[in-house]
């Protein structure tokens, strides 16, 4: 079996991945708050952890891997949006959950095993809080329930902060109902007119951190193999999840491996809605950017490194996919042979999800496929390329659909191919005037041509 090593934020090093039970591998990733279409930065963990999901399914079997990703559907921003539109919060959360799932599907993200929501897990959340109170790790005061950070010795170990650092650095609210300023909210009263749920502490709503701890326990169990999320969640969100879950479960760890993806930046600014530099996947798709191009772009850098999101990155990603699809188009009439997932791609992904290296390996395979001569060789090369694409969630379209030529008649396609052959001959004979004239004719037919290491690639212009 291919080795898998993952960089674990808790130990700050790469570790061999060993699941608790290879027949039941568990993974949780903190999901979006559904009050608006998600920006492309939200989809970095969605795509990165989808590659990990695909790799784990390859290593342990499709049925053995359980992946839970939540939707946060209780939040002030949701309340504000619902109030502005004069509707109930579930109208808002259903709308943006659907958009998120559509966007994720367009990015070739596999459906999750579980997709819990905070509202759907309310009974679990309340029961979790009651247990923490009973065990002396939380207390209720004036309709609030707070987690007592001083009652958990290891608090701060994960993010490697002392309580003093945390208080100095964070926006810690000093409030009369808190015993210690570092204590964080598990439950708070609902303001009049805001959505709320009945609880032993009155009508209210959960804090964000407890939702994840309760949903992880309910969907996957007490200790999971892998917990993922954006790097900005290390503190306080994951520190607090760890504290709550360890205290509720007699000190058992919440997760054995913690993975965090780096930021997406636009002009070196952290990408977030609050800074206004919002690019949503939804608007990009509507503007005609292919979901697979966005996926490729998100995988073009290593997941732990920051990624600069630029128009150039999107353009380069499209060109890279054109080259790969160009090879598949040339092999269109060959059946793909059953091929094992290529070792080069598995090794790259097994080394802490090194997707840039895996993409380079994909191009090597495409290069071999492009040169393949005999029909058995072509079939094998195509099979390898498809198997590699499956691991990365790429090359899932028909080449003709990808290039927008599926609607062309056979005669029209044959005419274009004949012109391309003439153009290639002209270029080989260094008759560039003739080559340019042919390109102009193709442009007149709404066909664009790119010259790539794999030869001429043409598509219908949109």
66 versus 212: smaller Cβ distance to Zn ion? 212
234 versus 365: smaller Cβ distance to Zn ion? 234
Phi, psi of 38, deg, nearest 5: -75, 140
256 with 225: CB under 8 angstroms?
A: yes
**What whole-number distance in Å separates Cα of residue 249 and Cα of residue 132?**
10
Residue 282 CB, nearest approach to Zn ion (Å): 23
Residue 285 CB, nearest approach to Zn ion (Å): 26
247 versus 435: smaller Cβ distance to Zn ion? 247
* DSSP codes joined into one string, 84-101: HHTS-HHHHHHHHHHHHH
60 versus 128: smaller Cβ distance to Zn ion? 128
Residue 259 CB, nearest approach to Zn ion (Å): 13
Residue 96 CB, nearest approach to Zn ion (Å): 18
> Residues in the site for Zn ion, rule: CB under 5 A?
30, 212
Residue 54 CB, nearest approach to Zn ion (Å): 22
HEC string of 241-290 equals HHHHHHHHCCCCCCEEEEEEECCEEECCEECCHHHCCCCEHHHHHHCCCC
108 versus 245: smaller Cβ distance to Zn ion? 245
Residue 212 CB, nearest approach to Zn ion (Å): 3
CA atoms within 13 A on the CB side of 208: 16
229 versus 350: smaller Cβ distance to Zn ion? 229
Residue 77 CB, nearest approach to Zn ion (Å): 16
254 versus 457: smaller Cβ distance to Zn ion? 254
Q: Which of 409, 407, 424, 419 is nearest to 444 (CA)?
A: 419
208 versus 403: smaller Cβ distance to Zn ion? 208
425 with 434: CB under 8 angstroms?
A: no
Residue 315 CB, nearest approach to Zn ion (Å): 34
Phi, psi of 347, deg, nearest 5: -65, -40
185 versus 426: smaller Cβ distance to Zn ion? 185
Helix axes 208-219, 239-248, angle to 10 degrees: 50
Residue 456 CB, nearest approach to Zn ion (Å): 49
Q: What residues pair up with 197 in beta bridges, in sequence order?
A: 204
**Quick one: tokens of 92?**
């808002």
* Sheet strands (E) in 86-202: 138-141, 144-147, 184-189
**Quick one: tokens of 131?**
């247990």
195 with 74: CB under 8 angstroms?
A: yes
Lay out the sheet containing 144-147: strands in order across: 138-141, 144-147, 184-189, 204-206
**What whole-number distance in Å separates Cα of residue 253 and Cα of residue 222?**
8
């Amino acid at each position: 079996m291919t080795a898998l090593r993952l960089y674990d934020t808790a130990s700050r090093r790469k570790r061999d991945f060993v699941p608790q039970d290879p027949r039941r591998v568990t993974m949780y990733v903190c999901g979006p708050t559904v009050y608006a279409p998600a920006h492309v930065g939200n989809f970095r963990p969605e795509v990165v952890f989808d590659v990990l999901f695909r790799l784990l399914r390859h290593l342990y079997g499709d049925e053995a891997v359980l992946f839970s990703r939540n939707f946060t559907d209780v939040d002030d921003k949701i309340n504000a949006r619902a109030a502005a539109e004069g509707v109930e919060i579930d109208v808002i959360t259903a709308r943006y959950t659907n958009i998120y799932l559509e966007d994720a599907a367009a990015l070739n993200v596999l459906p999750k095993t579980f997709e819990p929501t905070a509202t759907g897990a309310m009974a679990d959340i309340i029961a979790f809080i009651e247990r923490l109170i009973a065990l002396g790790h939380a207390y209720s005061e004036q309709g609030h329930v707070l987690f007592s950070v001083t009652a958990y010795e290891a608090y701060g170990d994960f993010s490697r902060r002392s309580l003093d650092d945390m208080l100095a650095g964070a926006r810690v609210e000093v409030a009369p109902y808190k015993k210690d300023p570092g204590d964080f909210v598990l439950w708070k009263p609902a303001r009049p007119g805001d959505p709320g749920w009945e609880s032993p502490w009155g009508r209210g709503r959960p804090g964000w951190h407890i939702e994840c701890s309760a949903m992880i326990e309910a969907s996957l169990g007490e200790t999971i193999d892998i917990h993922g999320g954006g790097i900005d969640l290390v503190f306080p969100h994951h520190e607090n999840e760890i504290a709550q879950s360890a205290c509720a479960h007699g000190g058992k760890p919440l997760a054995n491996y913690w993975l965090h993806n780096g930021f997406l930046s636009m002009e070196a600014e952290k990408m977030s809605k609050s800074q206004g530099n919002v690019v949503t996947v939804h608007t990009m798709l509507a503007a005609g950017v292919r979901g697979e191009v966005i996926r490729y772009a998100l995988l073009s850098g290593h997941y732990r490194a920051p990624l600069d999101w630029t128009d150039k990155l999107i353009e380069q990603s499209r060109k890279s996919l054109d080259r790969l699809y160009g090879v598949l188009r040339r092999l269109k009439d060959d059946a793909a042979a059953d091929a094992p997932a290529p070792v080069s791609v598995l090794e790259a992904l097994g080394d802490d999800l090194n997707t840039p290296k895996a993409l380079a390996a994909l191009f090597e395979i495409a290069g071999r496929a492009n040169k393949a001569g005999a029909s058995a060789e072509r079939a094998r090369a195509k099979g390898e390329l498809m198997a590699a694409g499956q691991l990365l969630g790429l090359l899932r379209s028909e080449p003709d659909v990808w290039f927008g030529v599926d609607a062309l008649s056979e005669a029209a396609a044959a005419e274009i191919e004949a012109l391309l052959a003439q153009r290639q001959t002209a270029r080989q004979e260094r008759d560039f005037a003739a080559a340019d004239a042919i390109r102009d004719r193709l442009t007149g037919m709404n066909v664009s041509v790119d010259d790539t290491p794999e030869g001429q690639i043409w598509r219908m212009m949109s």
